[in-house]
Structure 1
Amino acid sequence: MTTDTPKPPTTAGKTTFYQGENQTHPLFRIEPGICCQSAREQASELMGYVRDMTLAGLMDGDQKLIWASHYLSAMAKALLDDAELGMMKH
């Protein structure tokens, strides 16, 4: 008797990050098939960097760091949103 171990949920590959005027220019899409747990861990790591970069940018008055943290936070959000889609379909 064999028991099939259920596969962990994976990303849906539907979440796109947009930029530009009116958020109409797709910059990237999350790939389907990434383990949702891994995607969430990566998003958490990115958010840690976002926190550090935002504080450094504000303290130093460095707009480049603030903009970089903005884009990193959008990447983290896309990962989390797509992982959520993958978990809902599972």
Structure 2
Amino acid sequence: MTTDNAKTTAGKTKFFQGDNQTQPLFCIEPGIPCQFAREQASELMGYARDLTIDGLMEDKPKLIWAAHYLCALGKALLDDAELGMRR
């Protein structure tokens, strides 16, 4: 049996933007160490939080949209790491 440190992403999580999209905007590759994926997701979520606050405070909706995509990528990383941990 492998240890948690050897667990890697499953490579099954994809992000689709909009309704009826058949081509993913991005997907998580298999084989990324789950701990690294979690660390990167945490960092992305922190950046997304900062962008959201700046976008609201400075009335810059483009920053909020950028935060939306960073959050989606962070969530995809976390979801795929979770799938990898279950294997």
Task: Please give the TM-score of this superposition, normalised by the length of structure 2.
Answer: 0.91
RMSD in angstroms over aligned alpha carbons? 1.7
Q: Which has the higher strand share?
A: 1
Q: Partner of 1:26: helix, strand, or coil?
A: coil
Matched, 1:79 2:61: no
Tell me how far 1:48 sits from its aligned partner: 0.5
Kindly report structure 1 stretches of 4+ aligned residues shifted beyond 6 Å.
none
The 5 Å alignment of 1:1-90 reads 6=3, 8-20=6-18, 22=19, 24=21, 25-89=23-87
Instruction: Extract unaligned runs of 5+ from structure 2.
Output: none
**CA drift at 1:8:** 1.1
User: Rg larger in 1 or in 2?
Assistant: 1
Could you list the runs of 5+ residues in structure 1 that have no partner in the other structure?
A: none
Distance, in Å, in 2 between the alignment partners of 1:14 and 1:76 is: 14
CA distance in 1, matches of 2:33, 2:73: 16
SS of residue matched to 2:76: helix
Q: Given the two structures, how large is their TM-score scaled by the length of structure 1?
A: 0.88
Identical columns (%): 68
